Structure 1
Amino acid sequence: MAIETILLAVGAGDTDRLDRLAEETIDVAGPTGATVVIGHVFTKSEYNDALDNLDFDVTAEEVSGDDVARRHATVRDIVKKLEEADVDYIVRGAVGDYADELVALAKDIDADRLLVGGRKRSPAGKAVFGSLAQEVMLESPCPVTFVRADTK
């Protein structure tokens, strides 16, 4: 199975693992020539905050999740790393439940691989708070690579 499209899930909580996410993505996308779709999901509250913080003129036009994601600092940092590695990319943003929207995006773009970041969490922590990465892994239509931040 050829890898043509990679969904790289990034969010505000991924700042401590951006280098690893970029490195792992480039390691797959570079040799395969795959296009990377950088997916950023916002809750409705995060979306509204981002509209305010990024000075969008919401009276002039409707602002899509894609528009907000393109201007988000986390996405801009990943874009810079992909451009330096000469990897093709597209930015997609969505508003809603993180896991549901990432799985829907993976289906929509017919992703061949999904990369998601996460942190180590105890079994009790997963039971109480849930795990976005675990939910995505269980529901994803394609193989998922879990990228953990460096533990140095």
Structure 2
Amino acid sequence: MAIETMLLAVGPSDRDRIDRLTEETLDVAGPTGATVVVGHVFTRDEYEDVLEKLEFDREVDEVSADDVAGRHTTVRDIVDRLDEAGVDYEIRGAVGDHADSIVELAEDVTADRVLVGGRHRSPTGKAVFGSTAQTVMLEAPCPVTFVRSGTR
């Protein structure tokens, strides 16, 4: 199956794994010529915090989640590397539950592959606290590549 559109899903906790996520994305998207959708998902509280930190004036500026995502440092670092590699991309933002928003983004952009990062967790940790990556892997409309940060 050819990959035409790939969703690279990132969030506030992905800063420490940006290099690995970007490398994996380039490994898949570069040779296939796929368009990468860099999707940054915020919870409502994260979104409000970022709006404040980036000094958006909501009374003057019409602000979308896409605008906020495009100004986020993590996304800018990723798109700089995609630009260097000559990979086509677009930026999408979403506000809501991380896992549900990633699955919705994948459906909206008709993704052929989703790439999501995470950390190693014990089975008990997943059962007690849930796992965004696990939910995405089970509910995404396409194959999901999980990029784990660090070592066990």
TM-score past 0.5 threshold: yes
C-alpha RMSD of matched pairs (Å): 1.1
Deviations 1:99-134 (A, max 9, x none): 111101100110000000000001111111100000
Partner of 2:41: 41
Return the offset for 1:84.
1.3
* Corresponding position of 2:13: 13
Pairs within 5 Å for 1:23-62: 23-62=23-62
- Does 2:80 correspond to 1:110? no
Rounded Cα–Cα distance in structure 1 between residues aligned with 2:81 and 2:107? 25
Gapped runs of 5+ residues in structure 1? Answer: none
- C-alpha distance after superposition, 1:80-114 (max 9, x if no partner): 11111111110000111111111011001100000
Offset, 1:62 = 2.5
CA contact (8 A) 2:103 2:140 kept: yes
The AA in structure 2 aligned to 1:146 is: F
- Does 1:22 pair with 2:22? yes
What TM-score do the two structures reach when normalised by structure 1?
0.97
- The 5 A counterparts of 1:68-87 are 68-87=68-87
Partner of 1:148: 148
Work out whether residues 7 and 39 of structure 1, in 8 Å CA contact, stay in contact via their aligned partners in 2: yes
TM-fit CA distance, 1:151: 2.4
Contact between 1:117 and 1:148, CA under 8 Å: does it hold in 2? Answer: yes
Q: Is the 8 A contact 1:20 1:150 kept in 2?
A: no
CA shift for structure 1 position 75: 0.6
Letter in 2 for 1:56: F
Q: Secondary structure at the match of 2:25?
A: helix
Separation in 2 of the partners of 1:103 and 1:31? Answer: 25
Q: What is the letter of the counterpart of residue 48 of structure 1?
A: E
Counterparts of 1:150 and 1:20 in 2: how far apart (Å)? 10
> Residue 129 of structure 2 corresponds to which residue in structure 1?
129
Unpaired segments of 5 or more residues in structure 2? none
Greater Cα shift, 24-33 or 57-66:
57-66
What is the number of equivalent residue pairs in this alignment?
A: 152
Given that 2:12 and 2:42 are in contact with CA atoms closer than 8 Å, whether structure 1 keeps it comes out as no
